[in-house]
Structure 1
Amino acid sequence: MAPHERREDLIRTALGVFALRPPGEVTPEDIAEAADVSRALVYRYFPNMARLRREALEQAMSELLERLVPPAGLPPREQLRGSLVRFVEFADSYSPAYVALLRGGSVIATEETEAEIDRVRTGVLELLLDRVGPRPPSPPVLMALRCWISVVETAVMLWLRERGRTAEELADWLLDQLVAMVLAAGAPEEGLSALTSRG
């Protein structure tokens, strides 16, 4: 296996392990065993677990941003709903890592991981601005959008624990919260008609 392929394989292996266990509990030995390689080989590519966790997170966040881009041609509500469902499914597939990243005081919640999470938040904000408008948003509307992103993160974390509804039902509830929040922030109601219509 070429060096770049081996590195990619170790990152993929790490993501698979992080889908089952909190990343802070995973050791290089765990990665080596899952990849069927020696511990020394893991250390050849990643001098410590912090580096491996960071690179795995970077790759996962890039993949998430790609998934969140909705297909063109759908009504705005369906675009956002589809992106929300994909976000919930992504969080579900990496449930231990998702919870660990967002939980305060986690051993893996570093400045670098926070920067990666902020990269996704910025991408989500741009996606919202393209569909909620107008640009530039007023300061209250911009604050409402940023707060709604935090609501999504927290709601998904609670959903992972309680499973009281389907991912689709959660997405519809979150969209209703979005509309309520931006209306309360002063966004014109006529501009949100595409988000309030359920087809």
Structure 2
Amino acid sequence: MAPHQRRDDLIRTALLVFARRPPAEVTPEEIAEEADVSRALVYRYFPNMAELRRAALERAMTELLEELRPPEGAPPLEQVRTALRSFIDFAAAYAPSYTALLNGGSTVATEETEAEIDRVRRGVRELILDRAGIDAPSPRLLLGLRCWVSMVETAVMLWLRTHDMTRDELADWLLDQLVAVVAASGGPREELDRLVAHVSRVVT
């Protein structure tokens, strides 16, 4: 296996393991066993677990951003709903890691991981604004969207513990919250009307 292929394989293996156990609890030996390679080979590509966790997170965040970008031809409401469902599915697939990364006291929550998470947060805001045709959002609207993204993260983390509603019900609830937050953000009327119309238009 070529070096770049081996590195990619180890990252994929780490993601599989991180889907089952919190990253801070995973050892190089576990990665080596899962990948059917020696411990020394894991260390050849990743001198420590922090580097492997960072590489795996970067890969996961890049793939998540792609999944959050629904086809432009879909109705506006369905675009946002599809993105929310994709995010919930991602969080469920990596539940131990998702919870650990959003826990400020976690040993895996570092400046580097926070930067990767912020990349997704920024991507979500840009996607919503782009699909609504808003090029220069007001500070109030940006603040409202930032608060909504934080709400999504927290709500999904709580849902992972309880599963007290279906995935689709949670996505629809979060969509309702987006409409409410945008409507109450206090930005320019034209800006708010355009965005609310985008995310609340009835699918026919």
Smaller-chain TM-score range? Answer: over 0.9
Output one character per residue of 1:38-77: Cα deviation in whole Å (capped at 9) or x when no partner.
1111111110000000001100100001111111211211
Question: Is contact 1:75–1:194 with CA below 8 Å preserved after alignment?
Answer: no
Q: How many residues align?
A: 199
Q: Tell me which residue corresponds to 1:145.
A: 145
Higher alpha-carbon deviation: 174-183 or 124-133: 124-133
Structure 2 distance, partners of 1:156, 1:132, is 24
Using a 3 Å threshold, how does the CA distance of structure 1 residues 12 and 54 change in structure 2: closer, same or farther?
same
- Using structure 2 for the length normalisation, give the TM-score: 0.94
Do residues 77 (structure 1) and 77 (structure 2) align? yes
- Using structure 1 for the length normalisation, give the TM-score: 0.96
Do residues 49 (structure 1) and 53 (structure 2) align? no
Structure 2 distance, partners of 1:196, 1:72, is 16
Provide the identity percentage.
67
Structure 2 distance, partners of 1:116, 1:31, is 22
Q: Tell me which residue corresponds to 1:9.
A: 9
Instruction: List alignment gaps of at least 5 residues for structure 1.
Output: none
CA RMSD of aligned residues (A): 1.2
State the one-letter code of the partner of 1:85. R
Structure 2 distance, partners of 1:51, 1:152, is 28
Question: Is contact 2:76–2:201 with CA below 8 Å preserved after alignment?
Answer: no
Structure 1 distance, partners of 2:119, 2:52, is 19
Structure 1 distance, partners of 2:202, 2:161, is 28
Shift of 1:19: 0.1
State the one-letter code of the partner of 2:119. R
State the one-letter code of the partner of 1:38. S
Q: Tell me which residue corresponds to 1:183.
A: 183
Do residues 118 (structure 1) and 118 (structure 2) align? yes
Question: Is contact 1:32–1:38 with CA below 8 Å preserved after alignment?
Answer: yes
Q: Tell me which residue corresponds to 1:196.
A: 200
Shift of 1:138: 1.6
- Hey, which bits of structure 1, 4+ residues long, moved more than 6 A? none
State the one-letter code of the partner of 1:197. R
Instruction: List alignment gaps of at least 5 residues for structure 2.
Output: none
